[in-house]
Each structure stands twice: as C-alpha cells, then as structure tokens.
Structure 1
C-alpha cells in the first residue's frame, strides 16, 4: 500500500519539510535576537571605533590627537574672545 496523504506527500517528505521550516525559523529568531541585542551591538561599535582611532600599539592616532588639540585650542580661544567682548 502506498503511504501518502491526500496531496501526494509521504510522511517522510512532510517530516523533512517540517524540519527545514524549523531550521529556517531558528535562523530567523537568531537574526532577530542579534538585531535586538542593543548592549552587544553598542560594545561591538565601540570596539570598532576604538580600533579605528588607535594605532596597532594602542596609542591614539597622531592625526586624531592633533585634531583634538586643535578643537580644544579653538574652544579655549572662543571662550577667551567671548569674555573680552
């Protein structure tokens, strides 16, 4: 006797399809969890920015240090200028 249901699929084929859908659902849930994990995403972004802002030895990149110094000098200059007006 042929073991198939009304639509012509065997029980093994149905079980295989259910397993495939479970795997797909698990992947979707995992992807959503990663996107919704704000704390981990923030840590990863901070690590990425830290890596971009430092040299291989862990020191600040010279161009960024110069930019920060220029910005501080600009703010100090602005404050002094404002107080003298």
Structure 2
C-alpha cells in the first residue's frame, strides 16, 4: 500500500474512512439487490401482475377483433338481405309482367271445373317460372 499523505508508511486515515464508507454503500446496494431477488413472494406478485396486464391487453384486442368481425358480418347480412329483397321484387315484377296471375286465376276456375289438365298445366308453368328465376339468379 502506498503512502498517500507522504508521512512515510501510514495511510491517510481520511482516505481509509472514505474508502470504507464507499465499500459500505456498495455492500448495502448489493445486499438490497440480493434481498429483492430472494423475496420470492414479491417477485411472484410482480410476475402475476405483469401476466395479468398482458392477458387483459390480449383480451381487449381479441374483443376488438370480434367486434370488427361482427360489424363486418352484419354489413354482409344487410347487403344480402337487401339483395334478396330486390330479387324477390324483380321476381314479382316478372310474374306480373308475364300475366301469370291472370292465368292463375283462370286456371283456378278451370281446375275447379276439371282439375286434372289444369294441374299438369300449372306444374309446367311453375317449372318455367322456376327455371327463369334460376337463370336470372346465376346471372346476378
């Protein structure tokens, strides 16, 4: 050890005291760090809180994704419903334009008089209307 005060062999007492004070402070910090690592209950609680926060964030994110998917599905359902309503109106218009209602009323009277030939005619007419609707549905 070198002589710090130049007195020939004894180290400076103040320097030794400062060094001891510094060592004590460092030792205190080391002890606190070791105590924190040794405190399993506190570490487990911290880990639990962090995990809980992550789970909450993931749940909120999943809920937002689900809400978005639900909104998107509802929009598609509304669009499909409007499209189906439009197709139904078009079919009704086509039936009215074709005069099928008048023919149906005439057929009803005829069926009441003689049901067999009119039932066959009606089945044929329904098949034609069905085919027309199927063809129009494929075009859309």
TM above 0.5, one fold? yes
- The number of equivalent residue pairs is 59
Structure 2 counterpart of 1:45:
47
CA contact (8 A) 1:53 1:60 kept: yes
Bigger radius of gyration: 2
Aligned partners of 2:12 and 2:56: how far apart in 1?
60
Q: 1:18 to 1:47 in 2, by over 3 A?
A: same
**TM-score relative to the length of structure 2:** 0.37
Is 2:32 the partner of 1:30?
yes
Partner of 1:60: 59
SS of residue in 2 equivalent to 1:9: coil
Contact 1:3 1:11 in 2 (8 A): no
Q: For residues 4 and 47 of structure 1, do their structure 2 counterparts lie closer, same or farther at Cα, with a shift above 3 Å needed?
A: farther
SS in 1 for 2:59: coil
Q: Distance in 2 between matches of 1:4 and 1:50?
A: 64
The ranges of structure 1 where at least 4 consecutive aligned residues each deviate by more than 6 angstroms after the TM superposition are: none
Gaps of 5+ in 2: 67-140
Verify: 1:19 aligned to 2:10, yes or no. Answer: no
Cα RMSD for the two superposed structures: 2.7
